[in-house]
Structure 1
Amino acid sequence: MTTTVPLAGIILAGGASRRMGRDKATLPYGDTTLVERMVDVLKPRCAPIFVVAAPGQALPTLDAEILRDEVRGVGPLLATGRGLRAAAEAGAELAFVAAVDMPLLSADLIDELAGPAVRLGAAVVLPWDGRDHYLAGVYRTSLAGRVDALVAAGERSMRALVDRVDTQRIVMPEQDGLTNLNTAADLAALPRPQMA
């Protein structure tokens, strides 16, 4: 690990991705898939790593624990709660929550958020570059119960959680590491991954 701030990692991989036309987790990225790439990105910085997948979703063998959403198509809030609960049960107080479609993310960016998460004592720390990046932030694992209550009340969006807890935003310039892939054109436009 590159800093002393311990973080679990949660990768949300179960989205339907209507704009992409298929689930993103198994999209090829170089000689790997997006989900494998994201596990590799988080591995030097986060432990344990949880991948939250849809029920029945096929995934490659991963160096992470795979969790399954109880319900398909409910959105990222429920999946985040599932991951936060697992991270808390593993003893983690903080977790980095990431979307599966951010292959240019780096451990350095994660560290830019981890320090303030501890120093400020916030429930959530998000990067802000003109917009909130809900699925590239540090969350307290104790929020799992709050997520359950929000989902039970019919909430589905990450904003529902972030707007109700102490959230700190770290202003950052626009950067490739925060880029989400939403279409096949986005994937095609990525720089080719460096071969190890």
Structure 2
Amino acid sequence: MTATGKPASLAGVVLAAGASPWQGRAKALKQIRDGHTTAVEHVVSVVAERCQPVFVVTSPGQSVPELPAEVVRDDVRGHGQLSAVGRGLRAAAEAGEKYAFVCSVDAELLDPDVIDVLVARAAAVDADIVLPWDGTNHYLAAVYRTELAAVVDDLVAAGERGISALIARVDSQRVVISDADSHSLSHA
């Protein structure tokens, strides 16, 4: 832990695979706000304010713009977000990181202060996952121990696809968040 009480080791994982059914293209390449920035560029920049290194998990062959992050491929097709989370956690673990903040590429309203709240809770408790809760579990805006990559592998091998299977299997702590913070997670 650092002097601020935060884990000394916090990677960022941005899940960028998948297409938007209403736009017919990769969510990561959606233009946001200024019309010149893609969703993946924006979310990576927000995550990088609190996390280093940052990993972007994509599908095989998926293109993304040049990023200040390492792009890793999720080669397991058809296993949803659980497999992608596992790939990101493995990359963070291989980089020597103990924790990773994991979020979706469509968390365009993400506030870095939410990461601070979750990291502070992760530092205070010995949980495997710390996720925000506002009546809904926000799996894709949570702090995960990177060693959970092996648990994810077991779940995927058993046919699981949803992150809820991982949440149910390990020690998960929920942090009640304010309405303002909840708004920043509206797509997470």
Question: Of 167, 176, 179, which aligns to 2:183?
Answer: 176
Structure 1: state its 5+ residue gaps.
182-196
- Alignment identity in percent? 54
Instruction: State the alpha-carbon separation in 2 of the partners of residues 7 and 73 from structure 1.
Output: 28
Are the aligned partners of 2:131 and 2:137 in contact in 1 as well (CA < 8 Å)? yes
Equivalent pairs counted in the alignment come to 180
Q: TM-score, normalised by structure 1?
A: 0.87
Aligned match of 1:12? 15
Letter in 1 for 2:106: D
Letter in 2 for 1:151: V
Are the aligned partners of 1:15 and 1:73 in contact in 2 as well (CA < 8 Å)? no
Instruction: Point out 4+ residue stretches in structure 1 off by more than 4 angstroms.
Output: none
Instruction: State the alpha-carbon separation in 1 of the partners of residues 158 and 22 from structure 2.
Output: 28
3-state DSSP class of the match of 2:175? strand
Structure 2: state its 5+ residue gaps.
none
How many angstroms does 1:106 deviate by?
1.5
Indicate how the Cα distance of structure 1 residues 154 and 19 shifts in structure 2: closer, same or farther if over 3 A, else same. farther
Q: TM-score, normalised by structure 2?
A: 0.91
Q: Does 1:114 align with 2:125?
A: no
Instruction: State the alpha-carbon separation in 2 of the partners of residues 68 and 91 from structure 1.
Output: 19
3-state DSSP class of the match of 1:121? coil
How many angstroms does 1:19 deviate by?
4.8
Task: Show CA shifts across 1:125-171 (max 9, x none).
Answer: 00001100000000000100000000000000000000110000001
Q: Does 1:54 align with 2:33?
A: no
Are the aligned partners of 2:79 and 2:156 in contact in 1 as well (CA < 8 Å)? no
How many angstroms does 1:103 deviate by?
1.1
3-state DSSP class of the match of 2:71? strand
